[in-house]
Structure 1
Amino acid sequence: MSQEGLANEAGLDRSYVGRIERGEHNLTFASLVRLCRAMRCDVAAITAGLPQVRRKA
């Protein structure tokens, strides 16, 4: 799938998808969900194994 095709399918701007791919922009959880739906993959599978972020009390 091309960046343009993915962006169109996810309802996102192609340049935004490109910046995410190049690591120039952090994506929001909402954008992650949209991209996963467009790629027909599970958010849990994509995020499995990532380190947990501990918040300070």
Structure 2
Amino acid sequence: MTKPPISDAARIFGERVRARRQELGLSQEQIAEGSQMHWSYFGQVERGRRNLTLHSMLRLAAVLGVDAGELVRGLPVPTKPDRD
């Protein structure tokens, strides 16, 4: 059984990250290496199963060539604590 995203915000964030990565034609491994993450951790970010630190988010946005604000703009505020 696959674990669900930790929140709607994490799911949407991951979808945005995946869409941008695919626009760039890059693999998960390439983005993970550039943002100093393990590739399996990055895969969990894309699936909404991880809650990134600020520094990880900033590194990820830099590798994706976007402002971090674009990745988080308008995300819903979680109504219950993260399961992370």
Identity %: 38
The correspondence for 1:5, drawn from 13, 30, 48, is 30
TM-score normalised over the length of structure 1: 0.75
Counterparts of 1:1-57 in structure 2, within 5 Å, are 1-51=26-76
Question: Could you list the runs of 5+ residues in structure 2 that have no partner in the other structure?
Answer: 1-25, 79-84
Larger Rg: 1
RMSD of aligned residue pairs (Cα, Å): 1.7
Instruction: State how many pairs are aligned.
Output: 53
Identify the structure with bigger relative contact order (alpha carbons < 8 Å, sequence gap 6+): 2
After superposing on structure 2, the runs of 4+ consecutive aligned residues of structure 1 that deviate more than 3 Å are none
Evaluate the alpha carbon distance shift between residue 20 and residue 9 of structure 1 in structure 2; reply closer, same or farther with a 3 A threshold: same
Structure 1 runs not aligned, ≥5 long? none
